A and B are shown apart, each in its own frame.
Chain A
Amino acid sequence: MSTTLTINGASSTLDVDDDTPLLWVLRDVLGMTGTKFGCGIALCGACTVHVDGVATRSCVTPISTLKGKSVSTIEALGATPAGKRLQAAWIKLEVPQCGYCQPGQLMSAAALLGHTPHPDDADIDAAMAGNICRCGTYVRIRAAIKAAADPAAVAPSGAKR
C-alpha cells in the first residue's frame, strides 16, 4: 500500500509501510538528510520538522498520520521570511559548533516564531527545551532567536573584519 505525502510543497508517493517514521522516509527514501537522527524516541529534537506549521518530532511520527497534512523541513526553511531571518541570525552569531543539532534547533525556533513572533526567555525555554545540543550552543541559540524576532533591535556591530 502506498502513501502520498506533501513535503516542502511537493507530493511524493511512497511504497513503505505506513507505520514508518517520517524521519527515515525523509532521510533514506527521499534523500533529504538535513533532518537528523539523535535518539529515535522524541527526547532530543534533532529530527524536528513542521507538520502544518507545528514543530513535530519526525522520529516518532508514522507517515500514516500525515495524510492531507503539509510537512516542511530544514531544506525549505530559507524560503520562509522567519526561517530566513533565523538562518541569518544563526550565521551572524556563529551559532553552530558540530552543527548536528542545528537543523532541529532551527525548526523548533521557526515554529516558535510562527506562533510567538516576539518570544521572551520563558517562551524560548518552553519551545526549545526539547532540543538538546551536546556542543552547548544554547546561549547563542537564544540570542539568535531574539535577533531574528527583532532584527532592528540587534545593534549593528561596528567591527570590521
Chain B
Amino acid sequence: MKSTVDRGGAAQVVVSSGLTRRSFLSLSVALGGGLVVPLIFPVKGSRAAATRSPASATFAPNGFIRVTTDGRISVIIPYVEMGQGVYTSLTMLIAEELEVPISKIDVEHAPADDQLYANPIHGFQNTGDSLSVRVTWTPLRMAGATARTMLVCAAAARWNVPADSCRAENAEVLHPPSGRRLTYGALVADAAVMPVPEKVPLKDPAQFKLIGTSTPRIDTVAKSTGVAVYGIDVRFPGLLVASVASSPVKGGRVVKVDDHRAKAVKGVTQIVVLDDAVAVVGEHTGATRKGLALLDISWDAGPQGQYSTETLVAELAAASKRNGVVATKKGDVAASLATAAKRVDAVYQIPLLAHTMMEPMNCTVRLSRTHCELWLGSQAATRAQSAAAKITGLPLDAVEVHNQFLGGGFGRRAEFDVVEQAVRIAQKVDRPVKLIWSREEDVQHGFYRPYYYDVLSAGLDSSGTPVAWSHRVVGSSIIARIMPRFFKAGLDEDAVEGAYGPYTFPNLLIDYVRQESPALNTGFWRGVGSTHNAFMVEGFIDELAFTAKQDPVRYRANLLCEHPRARSVLERAASLAKWGDPLPTGSGRGVALAFAFGSYISNVAEVSVAPSGDVRIKRIVCVVDCGRAINPDTVVAQMQSGIVYGLSAALYGRITLKNGRVEQSNFHDYRALRTDQMPQLDISLVISSEDPGGVGELAVPCVAPAVVNAIFVATGKRLRTLPIKPEELKRA
C-alpha cells in the first residue's frame, strides 16, 4: 500500500510515487542526545506563570506576544491544540511578521478570557468550526507586524537613525548602513513605553518566508516521546482521583447506593453521591475503578426510561411533515417540481454519533472558599470557567482555567458537563480531585451528532438537468443551545449549511424543522452541518445523475457555474482517480464534492463489495483547495485525519438507544477504523493565493457520500442511511 501526497508543487498535477517528505529535522539532530529530554515548551504555564517570571520588563503590545528583557519571546495562542496543528500554524502567522524563527518562540495556552481571546465569529473563546486560521489570518499577522514595527522604531530612536533605514531579522533589529544590531530583548524596555501604532503595513505575500512552507510542528517532539501533558496527566501533591457512574438514562436519579464493598477497597477514600451520579474517590484510579465496579446503585430512570432509537426516528419522521423555517428560497420549487419532466424524491438519514476522542473526558479541580482552579483540555475555556463559577458561586475571576493539550476534541470538548460534574464532586471532597471518565461513560453520555432525517426532492427537465431542488433538514439544533444569537427565527444556520452544495439550481427551497429529543444531548461533531448535508446532497445529486443517465462527474461540473474552484477540484480528483477506467465486477468508484469552511474538496472513493456484503475501501483520492495553506504538511495531515474520521463513521458509527440507555459502550461496539482497514490515500493540494479556508474538519464531509456512491456503482444498491450495513449489500 502506497499512499501519496502532492502539495501542489507544480502547475500540473503530479502525484509523487510514495510519501515523500521534506527534511523536518535532520535525522542527525533527531538522533542526537536531545531526543529523550526534548524541547518542551511551557504549555503548562499561563499568564500567571509568566508574571511570576524574574524578567524585569516585558514588552506585550497585545494579548498574543510577550518579549522579555532576557530575550524570551512568547506567543499566547487562544485556539487550543487538539491535533489540528494550530499551535504551529498560528505561531507561524505571528513569526512571519515578527521576524523571529519558530524555534526561538515559546508557545503558551491562553488563559480563559473572552475580553482578549473571544473567537470573533462565535463571540466567546471557542476552538471549532475550522475557524482558527481564518479568524486569525489578519489579526495575528497584524499583532506580529505591530510588535516588530515598535521594536524597529525603538532601535532607530536609540541609534538616532530613520526607522526605514533599519530592518528586523532573526529576532534582532539591524541597521545595515552602520552594521549595528540589537536583539529584541535589548529593546524591550524602550518598546514597552512606546504607544502602540494603530495600523501597520503587512508583508506582501510574495515576501513570505514561513507561511506556505511546511514547518515542523512545535508539539511533535513532545508528542513522540511521551512527555506532552494532557488534561488527564495533570498531577500535583495531594491530588485524589475519581471514577464515576452517571445515570444511564438522561434525567434519571440515584435512588439508593450500597457502597460497603466499594468502601472496603484499598485506596478508596470516599463515595460521593450526587443527584444523578455516584463517584468513587481515592488514591489511584485502579482503586476507584475497582470500587466503582463494586457499587450497587439503584436508579430511577425518570420519564425517558422507555425511549428508543425507534421513538427518535418516529418523532423525526413526523416532524418532517411539518413546514420548516425557510433558509433559502429562489424561484418557485413547487411549480417547477409539478411541471418537471421527471421528479425524484428521497429521504436520507444519518445516525447519532459519539466523538470518542482517544483521551477520555476528564477534569481536575482544586477548590477553596475563595478560588477554583480547573485543569483540563477545553475547546471553550470560558464556558468551562463560567460553569464552575455558577456552581461554586464564585466570581468569574476567581476561577482559573489551566488549559492543556487535548487528546482529541472533535466538538466534544466544547461542552462543560464534565467540568460541572467534577466541581460538584470536588465540593464534597476536602482535597483536590481529578475526575476521569471511563470509555463507557464517554460513549454513553455524549453530546451526540444529531440524528438527521432529511427529505429531498428534485425536478429534472427533459435533458435530465435539475430545474428544482428542495431539501428539508429535520433534526436537533445545536446552535440554539450553544450559540443562541445565531439561532434566528427558528433557523439553525449550521443545520442547513451546504444543503444544496456548491450547485446552482434555478428553483431552490431549503427549510429547517427543529425537532429535539428529551432523551439525549446533541452537540457539534467534527465536520458539523457541512458533513451532515454533504451526505444528503452528494448522495442525492448522484441519484439525479444516474436517473438522467449521465456521468456523475460531468453532471456535477455542469452545475458549478458559481464555483469555478469547486469545478477544478472535482475534475482534478476525477483525473487522479482515473475516473472512467474500468474496474472489476463488484467494484466501483464514487465521487463527492463540497464547499465547506471556506475551502473546496472533492473525494473519489474506490471500493469493492464482497458477495457477503463486506465493503473494502481500496483507495481515496482527495483534492483540496483551501486557499493559501499556512503549513502545507498540516493541511495534508488534516486531510488524512478527516478521511479516517469520516470512514469510521461511514462504516461503523451508530449510537442507538433502548430503554433510554445508549446500547454501545466501548470500541468493540462503537468501532473506529484500524490500520489494517486503511485504504490507500492520495492527497493533492491546489496551490492558491486566496485567503485561507478551514481545514480541520474539511476532509470529513466528502468521505461517506463518495463511499456510498461507489457502493452504488459496485452493487446497484443506493444507500440513503448510515452507517453502511453489510447485511444490506449481501448478494444472494
Q: A16-B284, A24-B284, A94-B633 are in contact. Are A161 and B21 (CB under 8 A)?
A: no
On chain A, the residues within 8 Å of B42 by CB distance are: none
Cβ of A77: which chain B residues have Cβ within 8 Å of it?
Answer: 225-226
User: B678 is contacted by which of A41, A90, A139 (Cβ under 8 Å)?
Assistant: A139
Interface status of A55 (Cβ within 8 A of chain B): no
Shortest C-beta distance, B224 to chain A (Å), equals 4
Given A98-B82, A161-B215: A125 and B676 within 8 A (CB)?
A: yes
CB neighbours (8 Å) of B267 from chain A are 16-17
In whole angstroms, what is the CA distance A140 to B633 when docked? 12
- What does the 1/0 interface line of B181-215 toward A look like (CB < 8 Å)? 00000000000000000000000000000000111
In the complex, chain A residues 142-161 whose Cβ is within 8 Å of any chain B Cβ: 142-143, 151, 155-161
Chain A residues within an 8 Å CB radius of B20: 155, 157
Give the CA-CA distance A137 to B674 in the complex, in Å: 10
Q: Which A residues are CB-close (under 8 A) to B219? A: 96, 99
Determine how close the nearest CB of chain B comes to the CB of A30; give it in whole angstroms: 10
Instruction: Given A28-B283, A92-B21, A92-B23, verify A134-B356 contact (CB < 8 Å).
Output: yes
Find out whether the CB atom of A139 lies under 8 angstroms from the CB atom of B640.
yes
Cβ of A21 < 8 Å from any Cβ of B?
yes
Contact (Cβ within 8 A) A31 B235: yes
Would you call B287 and A98 a contact (CB within 8 A)?
Answer: no
Q: Is the CB of B31 within 8 A of A84?
A: yes
CB distance from A7 to the nearest CB of B (A): 14
**Interface residues, chain A, CB within 8 Å of chain B?**
16-17, 19-21, 23-25, 27-29, 31, 33-41, 43-44, 46, 73-75, 77-79, 84-85, 87-88, 90-103, 106, 121, 124-126, 128-143, 151, 155-161
CA–CA, A21 and B285, complex, Å:
9
Find chain B residues with CB under 8 A from A151 CB.
Answer: 27
Is there a chain A Cβ closer than 8 Å to B629's Cβ?
no
Asked if residues A129 and B408 are in contact (CB atoms below 8 Å), the reply is no
* Pair B230/A106 contact, Cβ less than 8 Å: no
Chain A: CB-nearest residue to B639: A136
Q: Which B residue sits closest to A25, measured CB to CB?
A: B286
Question: Are A43 and B668 in contact, CB atoms less than 8 angstroms apart?
Answer: yes
Contact call B645/A20, Cβ cutoff below 8 A: no
Shortest CB–CB separation between residue B143 and chain A, in angstroms?
23
Is the Cβ of A44 less than 8 Å from the Cβ of B284?
Answer: no
Docked-complex contact A102 and B224, CB < 8 angstroms? yes
Classify the secondary structure of A's interface with B: loop
Q: Which of A21, A31, A93, A132 has the most CB of B within 10 A?
A: A132
Q: Are B85 and A91 in contact (CB under 8 A)?
A: no
User: In the bound complex, do residue B30 and residue A132 qualify as a contact, i.e. CB atoms below 8 Å apart?
Assistant: no
**Chain A residues whose C-beta falls within 8 Å of the C-beta of B289 in the assembled complex:** 24, 40
Interface pairs A-B: 7 shortest CB-CB = A136-B644, A34-B226, A99-B223, A100-B407, A98-B83, A97-B83, A24-B286
The reply to whether B675 and A138 contact each other, CB–CB distance below 8 Å, is yes
Q: Which residue of B lies closest to A92 (CB)?
A: B24
Q: Are A94 and B216 in contact (CB under 8 A)?
A: yes
Report yes or no: B215 in contact with A132, Cβ–Cβ below 8 A.
no
A142/B675 in contact, CB under 8 A = yes
Closest chain A residue to B631, Cβ basis:
A94
Check B227 for interface membership: any CB of A closer than 8 A. yes
26 chain-A/chain-B pairs, Cβ below 8 angstroms = A17-B265, A17-B286, A27-B285, A28-B283, A33-B235, A34-B226, A38-B358, A39-B439, A40-B666, A46-B358, A75-B226, A88-B35, A91-B224, A92-B21, A94-B220, A96-B220, A97-B85, A98-B408, A99-B223, A134-B358, A134-B645, A134-B648, A137-B640, A137-B641, A158-B23, A159-B22
Which residues of chain A have C-beta atoms less than 8 A from B674's C-beta? 129-132, 138
**A41 x B666 contact (CB < 8 A):** yes
Using CB atoms, name the residue of chain A closest to B440: A40
Whole-angstrom distance from the CB of A80 to the nearest CB of chain B? 11
In the complex, what distance in Å separates the CA atom of A16 from the CA atom of B21? 47
With a cutoff of 8 Å between Cβ atoms, the chain A residues found around residue B113 in the complex are none
A74–B233 Cα distance when bound, in Å, is 14
Chain A proximity mask over B212-247: 1 for CB below 8 Å, otherwise 0: 011111011111111111101101000001000000
Q: A91-B24, A94-B216, A151-B27 are in contact. Are A79 and B36 (CB under 8 A)?
A: yes
Indicate if the CB atoms of A135 and B408 lie closer than 8 Å.
yes
Q: B358 near A132 (CB under 8 angstroms)?
A: yes
Known A33-B235, A37-B360, A136-B643; contact A161-B223, beta-carbon cutoff 8 A: no
| Sample of 8 more A-B contacts, CB < 8 Å, known A34-B225, A37-B232, A157-B20 | A20-B284, A40-B289, A41-B439, A88-B27, A98-B409, A102-B223, A132-B672, A161-B22
**For residue B213, which residue of chain A has the nearest CB?**
A161
The answer to whether B637 touches A97, judged by C-beta atoms less than 8 angstroms apart, is yes
Are B19 and A139 in touch, CB under 8 angstroms? yes
Task: Please tell me if B667 contacts chain A, counting CB pairs below 8 Å.
Answer: yes
**B406 part of interface (Cβ distance < 8 Å):** yes
Q: In the complex the two chains form, what is the Cα distance from A151 to B1 in whole Å?
A: 19
Q: Does B693 touch A at the CB level, under 8 Å?
A: no
Inside 8 A of A88's CB, which chain B residues have their CB? Answer: 27, 30-31, 35
Query: Which one of B23, B83, B637 lies within 8 Å of A140 (CB-CB)?
Result: B637
B445 to chain A, nearest CB (A): 16
Residues on A with beta carbons closer than 8 Å to the beta carbon of B357: 98, 100, 134
A19 CA / B641 CA spacing, docked (Å): 37
Tell me the minimal C-beta distance from B469 to chain A in angstroms. Answer: 33
| Beta-carbon contact of B224 and A95 below 8 Å | yes
Q: For residues 73 through 98 of chain B, which have their beta carbon under 8 Å from a beta carbon of chain A?
A: 81-85
Please state if A106 and B290 are interface contacts (CB–CB under 8 Å).
no
A135 to B233, CA, bound (A): 19
B659 to chain A minimum Cβ distance, whole angstroms, is 23
A83 to B76 Cα, complex, angstroms: 33
Cβ A100 vs Cβ B230 within 8 A? yes
CA distance A16 to B613 in the complex (A): 49
* Residue of A20, A94, A126 touching B637 (CB-CB under 8 A): A94
The answer, among B220, B266, B358, for a CB contact under 8 Å with A36, is B358
Q: Could you say which residues of chain A place their CB within 8 Å of the CB of B222?
A: 99
- Note all chain A residues with C-beta closer than 8 A to B668: 43
Give the docked Cα–Cα distance between A29 and B235 (Å).
11
Q: Does B673 contact A (CB under 8 A)?
A: yes
Q: Are A121 and B1 in contact (CB under 8 A)?
A: yes
Q: How far is the CB of A49 from chain B (nearest CB, A)?
A: 11
- A33:B229 contact, CB within 8 angstroms: yes
The answer to whether residues A84 and B35 also contact, given A40-B438, A95-B224, A99-B219 and a CB cut-off of 8 A, is: yes
Give Cα A34 to B225, complex, Å.
8
Interface flag for B436 (CB, 8 Å): yes
* Chain B residues closer than 8 Å to A79, beta-carbon distance: 36
Partner of B675, one of A23, A87, A102, A141: A141
- Inter-chain contacts of B407 with A (CB < 8 A): 36, 98-101
Q: How many angstroms from the CA of A138 to the CA of B648 in the assembled complex?
A: 13
CB of A28 within 8 A of CB of B284, answer yes
Name B278-296 residues within 8 Å CB distance of A: 283-287, 289-290
> Could you tell me the distance between the alpha carbons of A77 and B637 in the complex, rounded to whole angstroms?
25
Q: B510 interface residue, CB < 8 Å from A?
A: no
**How far, in angstroms, from A136 to B645 measured CA to CA in the complex?**
7
Given A36-B359, A142-B675, A157-B20, decide whether A92 and B225 contact each other with a Cβ distance below 8 A: no
A57 to B: closest C-beta gap in Å: 12
Most buried by A among B214, B265, B285, B406: B285
Known contacts A16-B284, A41-B666, A99 near B405 by CB under 8 Å: yes
